[in-house]
Chains A and B, each alone.
Chain A
Amino acid sequence: MGGLQLQTVNIVPELANMDISPDLVLPLVTTECTPWPAKSRKETGGVTWKNDSKVAGQVFEQLSVTQMGVGGPAYGIVSTFNEVRLVSTNDFGSHKPLVIGKELEQSEKKTTPDKEDLPVFAEDLSAASSHRSGVKIIPKIKKDPDDPQMKTRIGAIVVEKELPRTFFSSKVFALGMEGDPDLTEKNKAVIKLLTTAILLAQESTEVPKTDLRAESLKTAARVFNSVQQKIYPASVELSSGIRFDVLPTKQHKKFYSFSQIGCGANAVCCLATASSGTVCVLKIFHQRDKPGRELAAEELLNWRNVYKVHKD
């Protein structure tokens, strides 16, 4: 879409963020757009965000990541300088009449972004493709009578599947502009939309969160694949659940991030596993490129110095 640039200000909410207990968490995704259109609708041939795969991919990405942090569906508000719409991983279902009734026409606005153009980040359009790994069955381990703690004799079976690349959208609500004869009515509709978003988001948090300590776990995850140099959302099934009783190895190049467990000024920490299902933490730095690299390098050095971790 000509002239549209996205700046993500998404904050993934975390209900179990260490021992912080917020009164209310709104699992909303905010995707800010610069004033749009930079070119007029005429110049862009009437192109709008809803049929732009970059924006649609960005919205899908943010919604899918948010859904990992909440129990229920994720909701987001997408806006341009004069338009607002509500998006969700849910089809809005029974919530439709909640506030704005018929004005939500989401069932006819199902949006499936172009798979090949689906970006992980707005500026990284090469990161999307289908990802699927087959079932990996690891042979039985010989039973050790001296090891009563060893619950399972079979290594983790991890199945990774592509998430359905679909989200739902309400109709577009235009903000009333100065001099607009419908200014009041338009803005009322927008306020109703925002209110609905908050109510839906609040209900979403009441859905029980996925038990990440379950013995068999099937949930959404963000995949950090160093081999393919891609980050993408996926549905992951761990037959033995997250293995809290085993450490990863240096050979692991692919990680599944399940839930944010901490957020600081420089980075977020996520509960993750290696591709074998063994538990670890990914500390993901906010800043990209050089600043992020320097922060990561500095902290890595501290870990090695403080705990005398071998490099090899």
Chain B
Amino acid sequence: MSTRSTKINNWTFIRSAEISGIHFLVLPYFSVPRNKEERESFMKGNKKSKLWKALAQMANQGYAHNDLKWHHVGDMWGATNKRNRDGGKLLDNNTKRAYLFDLGKVSNLAVCDQEKWVKESFEMLKSRAGSDCE
């Protein structure tokens, strides 16, 4: 498994906040694949696919997603170095990357289990790509 750095400098806006006792997180928006065709595009290329890379990214950090389903997979454009007037990073729609989200339930993953988890998760999602539910 690759151990390359996965720092995402553009997500500094992620934070928790509280208003009148109500707690919320400010998180990035991901576009979720809604049908079989879109899901297959995430899996195209198997180990080179967007989905595999997203799973590997998480595993490389030593974490496993414990509530993995298609609802919790999405993609977003990569950030450019350009900013708008408000200071927000402009995104490039030619470089979409996949991410796993809804990280309320994650667990630690030993290095020796990382590749196995990625493979099994990929296969599990692949088997459910045509499902209406997950």
Contacts and interface: CB of A to CB of B under 8 A. Distances in A.
B110 interface: no
Contacts, number: 193
Contact of A248 (B16, B88, B100): B88
A290 to B, nearest CB: 9
Interface in B80-134: 82, 84-94, 99-100, 102-104, 106, 132-133
A19 interface: yes
Given A276-B88, A307-B11, A283 B22 contact: no
A157 B15 CA distance: 25
A243 B11 CA distance: 16
A253 B103 CA distance: 23
Nearest to B61: A306
Interface string B6-40: 11111111111111111111111110101100000
Interface residues of A, number: 72
B133 to A, nearest CB: 8
B22 A21 contact: no
B24 A284 contact: yes
Contacts of B68: none
Contact of B90 (A138, A246, A269, A282): A246
Interface string B68-83: 0011000001010010
B25 A299 contact: yes
Contacts of B2: none
Contacts of B90: 147, 149-150, 245-246
Interface string B53-73: 000011001010000001100
B16 A230 contact: no
A120 interface: yes
Residue among B28, B30, B58 having the largest count of chain A Cβ atoms under 10 Å: B28
A302 B23 contact: no
Contacts of A155: 84-86
B5 interface: yes
Given A155-B86, A226-B17, A276-B88, A284 B22 contact: yes
Contacts of A298: 104
A177 interface: no
B13 A247 contact: yes
A262 B71 contact: yes
A229 B19 contact: yes
Nearest to A255: B26
Contacts of B8: 307-309
Contacts of B99: 307
Nearest to A268: B24
A230 B18 CA distance: 10
A101 interface: no
Contacts of B86: 138, 155-156, 246, 249, 276, 278
A179 B82 CA distance: 75
A155 B70 CA distance: 34
Contacts of B10: 247
B7 A308 contact: yes
Interface of A: 18-21, 120-121, 124, 127, 138-139, 141, 144, 147, 149-150, 155-156, 224-226, 229-231, 243-252, 255, 262, 264, 266-267, 269, 271, 274, 276, 278-285, 287-289, 292-293, 295-300, 302-312
Q: Top 9 nearest A-B pairs by Cβ distance?
A: A292-B23, A302-B103, A276-B86, A246-B88, A288-B21, A296-B16, A296-B23, A283-B25, A248-B13
Given A247-B10, A282-B24, A303-B14, 12 more contacts: A224-B19, A226-B17, A231-B19, A248-B13, A248-B88, A292-B23, A295-B23, A303-B11, A303-B27, A306-B63, A306-B100, A308-B8
Interface of B: 5-30, 32, 34-35, 57-58, 61, 63, 70-71, 77, 79, 82, 84-94, 99-100, 102-104, 106, 132-133
23 contacts: A21-B132, A127-B20, A149-B93, A224-B17, A231-B19, A246-B86, A247-B79, A250-B12, A252-B26, A274-B13, A280-B28, A282-B24, A282-B25, A284-B22, A288-B22, A289-B21, A295-B23, A296-B16, A296-B25, A299-B104, A304-B14, A306-B100, A306-B106
